[in-house]
Chains A and B, each alone.
Chain A
């Protein structure tokens, strides 16, 4: 089944157009990665899908529910947003941070089920030992896991991740994405992520979407999409793509900018 259908989506800040006539679908239990150069609209698209920004066009959930017709509360039960781990936040404990993910489901009082869900997610993401530590004291990788746990507490059908690997070292990049992949494979949750690193995207995604200048340049699986040709057009970079591994591996060689001038 289709989780999200995006039709003719456009967004602009004032007169500056960021996204233009985007069409995309996100399927069941898949990881879809948005790749493209800085300013291509990856993060903006994530925010439009979560209605943090108000785009023009249609976004349908579950193949038929118009996102615009839902209240924020209902959207929060469907879509879980994981911001970048560098997002500045007021000081709260890890437990309270994750508990906030229950907000779409709970009233003023915290019920036993809410606490249970929080504990379950903490264990799933291995952050239980930090339960009463301050969120701000954690390392980048730990923060990212806490933020994923919070989004999962919303019991969403789709996780939206905004550059989940930025500011993480290699080990934590792999761990964060392993977590996302195992959640997607174990449950029927899908994930949409904006990501810079083409090799990580290739390794963890079922579908890649290449964005350029706010438009979809190409959609497909990592092998068909990560070609020297595409990388040259999208990023303006001369690259070699190694295809004899289980996933394509991009080795950037040089920027083509000098020639373009």
Chain B
């Protein structure tokens, strides 16, 4: 196999050279995944330095490591408090929320074979908004106390995806039926939210609007824990199904002929994607754009193989949301912009750049 990789005289390409080429092709994807991982760690350090108190990246990393290796690394109480109590959970929240939304988007686009599928186009986000509005304006909800808004957003999100599933089931679970059912649900919940806003008091409406813009300002270690657990577990399960999702991309009939239980995979993976989305946006509000565009950006970089696309989308989503939140916190400091506004401002130029320079059709 150590032959020089050239075409032999009769123009036949050597088997070993095809294999070599393919393993380089796969290697490049793995390299890109590692690069994004390094990018996140670096950006996380920078993000934690930015804010009203000035600390350097080295101090941030030292403070983080000091908790794990108390003897080896020394930090001050002041820096420890800033890093651990104020900034780090927000940084991690951005990372895991971004990852979750992007993974959910990538999975939905693959399962439904549709470039416009995202938690927003399928009515999931508008259901969450309705749940939150109900809690804010009417004070009504499933769980009381501080979890009122969160609980409502979560329950309505899951309710919406169950309804989409139920409607589609009636007509047969294809990507078209699910998308049409999702769009119907989206308009229904939007209208109900508008109605609540119409009858609500102005400060309540203001709160609803703010919630719908999405923000990481309500982050805490508990919430990070929940989001991280759900996101990581669901992402791993979705990755386990990545061959099936790839096969679905070749059409339902082909997928069936390759041994995929099409309806089960579609419904199960949709539920996982909905679960991730619900757990993220019930804490953050509806952060748009990441779930739709992070998978597209990633697809342009690593291609359509879901074994790589799903984890890579998660990392790109994490990077995007972390970058957006960092800018949103600092650009008009001390005023903090809702991150939902910033994600589009940062992501759209990048997306358009990739979109214009790409050579191939990705859909």
Interface on A for B, CB 8 Å cutoff?
A: 47, 50-52, 71-77, 79-81, 83, 87-93, 95-97, 100-101, 103-104, 108, 115-116, 119-120, 122-123, 128-129, 131-132, 134, 136-137, 154, 160
Contact among A80, A88, A108 with B240 in the assembled complex (CB-CB below 8 Å)? A108
Residues of B with Cβ closer than 8 Å to A? 12-13, 15, 18-19, 21-22, 25, 110, 113, 240, 242-243, 246-247, 249-251, 253-254, 256-261, 303-305, 307, 360-363
Q: Is the CB of A119 within 8 A of B15?
A: yes
- Output the least CB separation between A242 and chain B (Å): 37
**Besides the contacts A71-B259, A93-B303, A103-B260, what 18 more A-B pairs have beta carbons closer than 8 Å?**
A50-B256, A50-B257, A72-B259, A77-B259, A87-B253, A91-B303, A91-B304, A96-B305, A100-B250, A101-B258, A103-B247, A103-B258, A103-B259, A108-B240, A108-B242, A123-B15, A131-B18, A132-B25
Contacts of A132 in B (CB 8 A): 21-22, 25
Q: Are A81 and B253 in contact (CB under 8 A)?
A: yes
Give A104 to B257 CA distance when docked, in angstroms.
10
Judging by beta carbons under 8 Å apart, are B25 and A92 in contact? no
B303 touches A92 (CB 8 A): yes
Instruction: Given A103-B243, A103-B247, A119-B15, answer yes or no on A131-B21 (Cβ-Cβ < 8 Å).
Output: yes
Q: Write the nearest CB–CB distance from A182 to chain B, whole angstroms.
A: 17
Bound form: Cα–Cα A73–B246 in Å: 16
Residues of the B chain whose Cβ atoms lie less than 8 Å from the Cβ of A88: 251
Residues of A within 8 A of B22 (CB): 95, 115, 131-132
Chain B residue with minimal CB distance to A76?
A: B259
CA distance A71 to B259 in the complex (A): 8
Q: In the complex, A104→B261 CA distance in Å?
A: 12
Q: Which residue of B lies closest to A89 (CB)?
A: B250
- Chain A residues lying within 8 Å of B250, measured Cβ to Cβ, are 87, 89-90, 97, 100
* Chain A to chain B contacts (Cβ below 8 Å), 26 pairs: A47-B253, A52-B253, A71-B259, A80-B257, A81-B257, A91-B304, A91-B361, A92-B304, A92-B305, A93-B303, A95-B22, A96-B246, A96-B303, A96-B304, A100-B246, A100-B247, A100-B250, A108-B242, A108-B307, A119-B19, A122-B18, A123-B15, A129-B13, A131-B18, A131-B22, A136-B360
